[in-house]
Amino acid sequence: MHDFVLVVPRAPFASSVTLTLDLLTTAAKLACRVGVAPPRWRVCAVTPGIIELGNGLQLQTDRLPVRSSARECWILPGLDIDDASQLDARLAQPDIPPLVAALRRHARAGGTIAGSCSSVFLLNAAGLLDGRCVTTTWWLASALRRVAPNTRVEPDRMVHADGPLVTAGAAMAHMDLVLYVLRQRFGEQLTAMLGQALLVEQRRLQSLYMSPAMMVPENNLIALLTSHIAETLPEPVTVGTLAARANISTRTLNRQVNKVLGYGPQQLIQSVRLNRARVLLESGGLSVEEVTAQVGLGDSATLRRLLRRRLGLNPTQVRG
């Protein structure tokens, strides 16, 4: 019996695969120090044999079993895609239907599936996202909302668990995903020691890295609004002025922004302000009060509150 199955699709994002194996291998070596059994895993694919990871890397895989144990947690690495426009073509490849069927069987058998980044779209293809709350890479959140309208997508989160599914954000969030499932199965002590040994820690949010315009690069409205807000800072911007700039009603503006971003124009204004504040804080040349003035937030208490709520950080932590 294995604790984890690393389920490798054709053309995966290589670091998702290697991160998983490095974390599990190190955890197995450290397990005896905290008095727990070492994690056991296997590496499988729909078609067994050599999987090309890119850059000359290859991985030997076993056949994914037709029957799986509900005790196994399946770990899905991300797909090697560059943007949302490549999703449909990748999901139409011949290796996907049998993989999706296997995911569906494992979930129906009561097993856990953990996927990061673009692999969350495989969970959707398997019909596992309806009524669930998930995260994914922030720049694919809009695309996931389109194909999974009955799913609550929360791209702010780094990792989120809902029922048998554990999902994670952008590519390097796969590390956070593996740490999470290790913690759930082997406890805090082993995971903490693993983090100390490899200098990694569990992160709660990917908000720090999100750019509204990059979330929907093909959307001219979001690009227009984001640019206008940034150019207007530190002067105040209202939903009404944004609607006028886009030459649409405030009701239409609210509907269209919510449709693509999952939140309204007021939060978009705050996101642009917060992104600018983050850049200014990271540069280290301005005080918190000066940064607050440059982004039009009124007072430093408001900035601190927004940083804590949206990023889970204080100004000193943002400065690094």
Q: With beta carbons less than 8 A apart as the criterion, state whether 157 and 205 touch.
A: yes
pTM: 0.81
All residues at 6 or more sequence positions from 302 whose CB lies less than 8 Å from its CB, including other chains:
292
Of 240 and 217, more confident: 240
Q: At what angle do helices 220-232 and 239-246 cross, to 10 degrees?
A: 130
Residue 86 pLDDT level (bands cut at 50, 70, 90)? very high
Per-residue DSSP letters for 285-312? -S-HHHHHHHHT-SSHHHHHHHIIIIIS
Q: With beta carbons less than 8 A apart as the criterion, state whether 32 and 38 touch.
A: yes
Integer Rg of the chain from CA: 21
Domains along the sequence of the chain with CATH: 4-207 (3.40.50.880), 211-319 (1.10.10.60)
How confident is the model at residue 92, as a pLDDT?
95
How far lies 92's CA from each of 63, 88, 122, 131, 209, in Å? Answer: 21, 6, 11, 24, 30
Q: Tell me the C-alpha distance between 279 and 284, whole Å.
A: 9
Q: What is the pLDDT of residues 34-53, one digit of tens each?
A: 999 999 999 999 999 999 99
Q: What is the pLDDT of residues 5-21, one digit of tens each?
A: 999 999 999 999 999 99
Q: Burial, 69: exposed, middle or buried (Cβ in 10 Å; 0-12, 13-18, 19+)?
A: middle
Q: Which residue has the tokens 């692999």?
A: 119
Q: With beta carbons less than 8 A apart as the criterion, state whether 80 and 89 touch.
A: no
Per-residue DSSP letters for 171-221? TTHHHHHHHHHHHHHH-HHHHHHHHHHHT-----B-GGG--HHHHSTT-HH
State which amino acid sits at residue 12. Answer: P
| pLDDT mean over 191-198 | 93
Q: Is the pLDDT of residue 136 over 90?
A: yes
Q: Is the pLDDT of residue 201 over 80?
A: no
Q: What is the pLDDT of residues 147-182, one digit of tens each?
A: 999 999 999 899 999 999 999 998 899 999 999 999
Residue 218 pLDDT level (bands cut at 50, 70, 90)? low
Q: Is the pLDDT of residue 217 over 70?
A: no
